[in-house]
Amino acid sequence: MIFAHITHDQLARAESAIALAALGIVQLRSPGCFESIRMYFRGAWAGLSNEQSDRLKSVIEARTRAEGAGGSARAYAGLFTIAMGLLGLWPAIPYVMPYAASCLAMAYATWIAYRRFRHATELRFAPLTRRTPLEALPPVTIVSVALCLIGTAAFASVPQFRVAAALVVVSMIVLLAIAWRIATAPAVLLGTDPQVEYAVDKRVRFCRATGLVTLACAPPTVFAMLAWAQLPSVSGLLELMLLLVITGFVATTVVSLNPLRQGIALA
């Protein structure tokens, strides 16, 4: 058999390389959260009149133009992720390091895209009172973040995973910082149709903030699974930590996806 002489470590590295290559391709081909807002309105058209649909479509198009392109940082992060997948095949590289480095590159690319978004819209922020972050970041997302941080810290107690865990935590903090800034920012209004623009901004703000929290919880989840799979024996505490991290990630995913198919109320 061709796979008879492949060790568990070699097979795990090959699977990790394939997964990172697929992730890199996704980053290259799919828009980031600051490159398209149309995906947040898949179910928004239900129950709207023709006039309301036209207004909503016009506002979405105007907002998309105002935000501009997301830049090339995401593409570079995708290429870096593919390269990390190949690098991970080298036995001298710690098993979880390529994924951790890819997470850091993704976080940096997201930060660059956020800065471009802020620059493009800085003159369009409405001079309104800042809204409470809980409108865009429900308590369940905050609890989920805590679970992911606790789980990552538990696996960081294993010496061979400490550097990778540090990279994962840094990438997580960067993404959470962006999510918080979005959650606390005032509305972006263009002044053409304020009522629809405010409704659009409210949904975009919620979807982006919760989506970034989900993205922030993904690295700890995959990291914990990779670390758990590599350890020859796992204590009951680490198994519990893995379960908590997965629970946090699933919870944030459900929260972030929930509004996508919901309608939007317009007068």
Tell me the pLDDT of the chain (267 aa) as tens digits: 444 556 656 666 776 777 778 877 877 777 666 667 888 888 777 778 888 888 888 888 888 887 766 667 777 888 888 888 787 777 777 777 888 888 888 888 888 888 887 776 665 555 555 667 888 899 999 999 999 999 888 888 888 888 888 888 999 999 999 999 888 887 777 778 888 888 888 888 898 899 899 989 988 888 888 888 777 676 778 888 889 999 999 999 999 888 777 777 776
DSSP 3-state helix, strand, coil percentages of the chain (rounded to 5)? Answer: 70, 0, 25
Report if residue 20 sits inside a domain.
yes
Q: Which structure tokens are listed for 48?
A: 């709207």
Domain extent, residue 93, equals 8-261
Report if residue 267 sits inside a domain.
no
Number of domains in the chain: 1
pTM of the shown model? 0.83
Report if residue 16 sits inside a domain.
yes
Phi, psi of 174 (to 5 degrees): -60, -45
Bridge partners of 125, per DSSP, are: 188
Report if residue 2 sits inside a domain.
no
Q: Which structure tokens are listed for 189?
A: 């209004």
Report if residue 205 sits inside a domain.
yes
Report if residue 266 sits inside a domain.
no
Report if residue 151 sits inside a domain.
yes
Handedness of CA 231, 237, 238, 239 (dihedral sign): positive
Report if residue 1 sits inside a domain.
no
